[in-house]
């Protein structure tokens, strides 16, 4: 079996997931994992598909042909990821007034500790006490075993103070 990582973007309309899944199924592919959503009028997603080796090139051609119907798909062959060793999994939650630079500042701090972001989800939400836009982020992180979590927490709290956001590590 060949593992494919697909990124998909198209103008949002009903039937896109069916069209994509029909194409994958027609080539004996198995839809394994995905994350998809509507963003600014576009349908965007990423998914992992397992396909028999003999069907890989035909599936890749069929996915490329969907471009004529508005689906832009990038496909990359992938190896099975090796499990991370000597890492701790933690989650990060952030909420605060929306302003430019929040993701940049937090990701820069995480990179300074060689922390890998496994999943990141962000959104703008309406504040419960006011109609102000709040920026909300949730992330799953892989932290190398040698990282002092108290030091990491302090670094993030320093940034949180500057950005006027609340950050929680679990």
Residue 132 sits in a domain whose CATH number is 3.30.70.260
d(CA 168, CA 153): 8
Total domain count for the chain? 2
Q: Are residues 72 and 117 in the same domain?
A: no
pLDDT at residue 37 tops 90: yes
Q: Are residues 35 and 61 in the same domain?
A: yes
Tokens of 115: 């922390």
Domain end residue (candidates: 13, 46, 78): 78
DSSP state string for 40-73: TTEEEEEEEEEE-GGGHHHHHHHHHHGGGGT-EE
pLDDT at residue 82 tops 90: no
Q: Are residues 93 and 58 in the same domain?
A: no
d(CA 94, CA 114): 20
Tokens of 120: 């990141």
Count of H helices and E strands in the chain?
4, 8
Q: Are residues 116 and 134 in the same domain?
A: yes
Domain end residue (candidates: 27, 46, 78): 78
Q: How far is CA 49 from CA 3, 58, 108, in A?
A: 6, 14, 32
Q: Are residues 65 and 45 in the same domain?
A: yes
Q: Are residues 62 and 37 in the same domain?
A: yes
pLDDT at residue 83 tops 80: no
98-126 pLDDT, tens digit each: 889 999 999 999 999 999 999 999 999 88
Instruction: Supply the range of the domain harboring residue 147.
Output: 87-169
């Amino acid at each position: 079996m060949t593992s494919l990582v697909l990124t998909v973007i198209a103008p949002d309309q009903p039937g896109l997931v069916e069209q994509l899944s029909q194409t994958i199924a027609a080539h004996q592919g198995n839809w394994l994992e995905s994350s998809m959503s509507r963003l600014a009028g576009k349908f965007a997603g990423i998914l992992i598909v397992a396909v028999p080796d003999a069907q890989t090139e035909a599936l890749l051609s069929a996915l490329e042909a969907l471009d004529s119907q508005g689906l832009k798909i990038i496909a990359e062959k992938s190896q099975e990821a090796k499990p991370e060793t000597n890492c701790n999994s933690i989650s990060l939650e952030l909420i605060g007034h929306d302003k430019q630079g929040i993701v940049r500042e937090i990701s820069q701090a995480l990179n300074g500790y060689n922390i890998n972001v496994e999943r990141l989800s962000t959104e703008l939400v309406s504040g419960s006490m006011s109609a102000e836009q709040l920026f909300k982020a949730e992330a799953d992180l892989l932290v190398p075993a040698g990282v002092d979590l108290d030091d990491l927490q302090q670094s993030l709290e320093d940034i949180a103070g500057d950005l006027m956001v609340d950050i929680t590590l679990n």
